Amino acid sequence: MDKEKNKNLYWKLNLTIVGSLLAIWFMVSFGAGILFSENLDQFEIAGFKLGFWFAQQGSIIIFVFLIALYCFLMNKLDKRFNVEEE
3-state SS track over 42-70: CCEECCEEHHHHHHHHHHHHHHHHHHHHH
pLDDT for 1? 63
pLDDT for 33? 77
First and final C-alpha spacing in the chain: 26
pLDDT tens per residue across all 86 residues of the chain:
688 888 999 999 999 999 999 999 998 888 887 888 888 889 888 888 888 887 888 888 999 999 999 999 999 999 999 887 77
pLDDT for 3? 83
pLDDT for 64? 95
- Partners of 44 in the β-ladder: 49
Which residues, other chains included, contact 29 with Cβ-Cβ below 8 Å and sequence gap of 6+? Answer: 54, 59, 62, 63
CA atoms within 13 A on the CB side of 81: 20
